[in-house]
Amino acid sequence: GETRRAIDAAERAMREPLPAHKRAEILVKVAGSLGRRHDEIARVIAEEAGKPLKQAKVEVSRAMSTYTFAAVEARKLAGEVVPMDASQAGEGKLAFTLLQPVGIVGAISPFNFPLNLVAHKLAPSLAAGCAVVLKPASQTPLSALLLAELETEAGLPPGWLNVIVGPASEIGDVLVKDDRVRAISFTGSSDVGWRLRERAPRKKVLLELGNSTPVIVQGDADLDVAAEKLAVNSFSFAGQSCISTQRIYLQKWIADDFMERFIPKVEALVVGDPTEEATDVGPVVDDGARDRILTWIDEATNEGATILTGGSVLEGRLIRPTVLGNVNLGMKVCREEVFGPVVTIDSYESLDDAILLANGTRYGLQAGIFTESLPSALRAAQRLRFGGVTVNEAPTFRADQMPYGGVKDSGNTREGPAYTVRELSEERVVVVDL
């Protein structure tokens, strides 16, 4: 009932298009409000998601950036001229394309970036001129409601944004079945995402899904830099990022040197209360996630993996940062997405072996390589089958203007305001006989 009423409201709103300059103005104002209320909003994220305050602050700054880039896109979104006299059939005609909003967007977002991943749905939708019905993750609705409040304060007319908090499958069902919803933008786990797409073959279904993020450390890499970046990025937000570093592949002859640097850095991470400024690693999202992660660690050790550090609960939902050695791609901790503070270590002889290992799961969101060799970096960039490859940076890196998204089971689209506005627009060609 409520979801259908929200779609009704979105439909009424879209009858009267909002001009691009108004859309851009609203987006700029929201970026400004996020800046003014920065620390307060970071605290909301920390409290609802259990995300350490340091990382929550970064998320707020990134959401500002997402709104700012979307405002730019709103102002420059335009079609193109078609060179009609390039064929005999077109001679004597002028043609150009108009970019029209695709229609109502049904957005579904996950708990792990409750503000910025919602921003990646709302801001480009508005930039493209689309009204939205949003279902945020049940665990983290507050940041989404806060964004809705900021958009309203910034002058968004009624009906353009409708947030519905409630049972996922019911709301998902209505969004899938109602023909007025022309696009579904989903960020979350792979199985849920692909099922949604199967059920909505006539809609645009944009999927941003999971990963089992690999990184290759070549023998010629700067090991201090690699160890530092990978220690932080394997465990920030307790590994609950879609591109949390999960599989580290070390060239054999530097494996020991790397581990001597890496383990102390992992053990130095501060595990604890996410609302404390010093905390690096907070709790996982709920008891079910904790139990699943511990079971996966147990399964791996039963299959021969060794625990190099961590592997147990500190307290409540706080799992100690865990490093596993002696692993293989058959183990869930490698093959699937752990979504917890666990990283695996394996070694290899040649770069091509490492690339095979990195490519060896059903996922393809981001991967990384550390090397001082340009040819090795470029070979990896060409052969790693992922939506993104980082060189001398952890594969956990993302800036909001990047085209971000996956191949294989990791998704079918690229998010980033410039890319999303295109996905949410339809080209209409206009032909004029001269």
Residues in contact with ligand NAP by CB under 6 A are 108-113, 117, 135, 137-139, 168-169, 172, 187-189, 192, 196, 208-211, 242, 337, 339, 365, 411
- The sign of the torsion formed by the CA atoms of 98, 99, 103, 104 equals negative
Among candidates 330, 338, 323, 327, which has minimal Cα distance to 244? 338
Q: Does the annotation mark 208 as catalytic?
A: yes
Q: Whole-number minimum distance, CB 118 to ligand NAP, in Å? A: 10
Looking at beta carbons only, is 219 or 417 nearer to ligand NAP?
Answer: 417
Residue 423: active-site member = no
- Give the closest residue to 387 by CA, choosing from 399, 370, 400, 404: 404
- Minimal distance, residue 423 CB to ligand NAP, in Å: 14
Catalytic residue among 59, 242, 337, 415: 242
Q: Given the complex with ligand NAP, which of 140 and 425 has the nearer CB atom?
A: 140
Of 59 and 337, which CB lies nearer to ligand NAP in the complex structure? 337
Minimum gap (Å) between residue 129 Cβ and ligand NAP: 23
CB of 109 to ligand NAP, least distance (A): 6
Q: Closest distance between ligand NAP and the C-beta of residue 337, in Å? A: 5
**Least distance in angstroms from the C-beta of 279 to ligand NAP:** 21
Nearer to ligand NAP (CB atom), residue 134 or residue 250: 134
Half-sphere exposure of 225 (CA within 13 A, CB side): 13
Our CB check for ligand NAP shows the closer of 243 and 300 to be 243
Minimum CB–partner distance for residue 365 and ligand NAP (Å): 6
Q: Using the minimum distance from each CB to ligand NAP, give the nearer residue, 219 or 274.
A: 274
Q: Of 208, 334, 337, 415, which is the active-site residue?
A: 208
- State which residue, 138 or 382, has the beta carbon closest to ligand NAP: 138
Residue whose entry in the numeric block shows the structure tokens 């791996």? 300
Judge contact between 186 and 108, C-beta under 8 A. yes
**Residues noted as catalytic:** 208, 242
